[in-house]
Structure 1
Amino acid sequence: MSKINLRGVATISFYADNHEAAKKWYSEVLGTDPYFNAPGYAEFRLGDYQHELGIIDSKYAPEGASGQVGGAIIYWHVDDLEATFELFTSKGARLYEPITDRSGGKMAFVTASLVDPFGNILGIMTNSHYMETLNRKTSS
């Protein structure tokens, strides 16, 4: 069996029935406009590694895709979890999972997740491992 090397997140895709409203909402909460903007698709580059968040008109969703909330939760590291949580909820995101300390006495891992106004789960967390990795990369 050969090893598969998952090197990092390339693009996270969120689908939205109202593509224009989703682009506007994400532009407001992220404080930036998409760097790529085309009919039916907009893309933001975010964070220390410029990960991509694509907002796609749901008419382009794969056949059989569910309109229900669910699936994997991708957590974005944030420096201030509570302030980020408050910003998203003030802009209309609803609670999926409350702020939860998952540290277990080892490292700082605190998560929360919300559902954006378009039905996508948005995970946020403070993650000491992320910061350690970032600090190693930037100090070398």
Structure 2
Amino acid sequence: MPPSIVFIVYVNDTSQATRFYSDLLETEPGFRVPGYVTFALGDGADLALWSGRFDGLDPAVPRTGEVCLALPGGPDAIDRRFSRWAQKGVRVVSEPHDEVFGRTFVVADPDGNLIRVAPVD
């Protein structure tokens, strides 16, 4: 069995963060206990929301890491996803632009954690 990987995002309120990520990712969590929720992202990869490690995260504090959602479909797919998320009122950190790896943008969750959308490599 190949190893799996879990990306952990620290949040203040797992219920609020679960609603946010469920809406953004258009999926429901696969595992849920108080203070810890996971979303299956594909073969052997999960996104976990955890409130048990840090209290009082300040959304204004810059984050040095980010979760990246890699989308197929090229630049148009990236721009469509940005439009859908912007209509939901998600806090935009960086609007769609071209980088060396392709079209990308960055938003933030309610705790200030960064979410990048970029093309599949």
TM-score computed with the length of structure 2 as normaliser: 0.78
Instruction: Identify if the C-alpha distance between structure 1 residues 116 and 98 changes in structure 2 by more than 3 Å, giving closer, same or farther.
Output: same
Q: CA deviation at 1:125?
A: 0.3
The alignment partner of 2:110 has SS state of coil
Structure 2: runs of 5+ lacking an equivalent? none
Task: Compare the two structures and name the one with the higher helix fraction.
Answer: 1
Partner of 1:53: 47
Matched, 1:77 2:86: no
Q: Percent identity?
A: 22
Consecutive unaligned residues of structure 1, counting only runs of 5 or more, are 1-7, 131-140
Note the 1:86-97 alignment, pairs <5 A: 86-97=83-94
Task: State the partner residue of 2:16.
Answer: 21
CA distance in 1: counterparts of 2:15 and 2:111, whole angstroms: 11
Could you tell me whether the CA contact under 8 Å between 2:102 and 2:118 is conserved in 1? yes
Confirm whether residue 101 of structure 1 aligns to residue 94 of structure 2: no
2:111 partner SS: coil
Cα distance, 1:126 vs structure 2 = 1.2
Structure with the greater relative contact order (CA < 8 A, sep ≥ 6): 1 or 2? 2
Higher CA-based Rg: 1
Question: Following the alignment from structure 2 to structure 1, what is the Cα–Cα distance between the partners of residues 28 and 38?
Answer: 9
- Judging by fraction of residues, say which structure has more strand: 2
Q: Over the residues paired in the alignment, what is the CA RMSD in angstroms?
A: 2.6
Query: Displacement, 1:50?
Result: 4.7
Q: TM-score, normalised by structure 1?
A: 0.69
Shift in CA distance, 55/92, structure 1 to aligned 2, threshold 3 Å: farther
Conserved 8 A contact 2:93-2:107: yes
Query: 1:33 maps to what in 2?
Result: 28
Alignment-derived partner of residue 110 in structure 1:
103
CA distance in 1, matches of 2:10, 2:103: 26
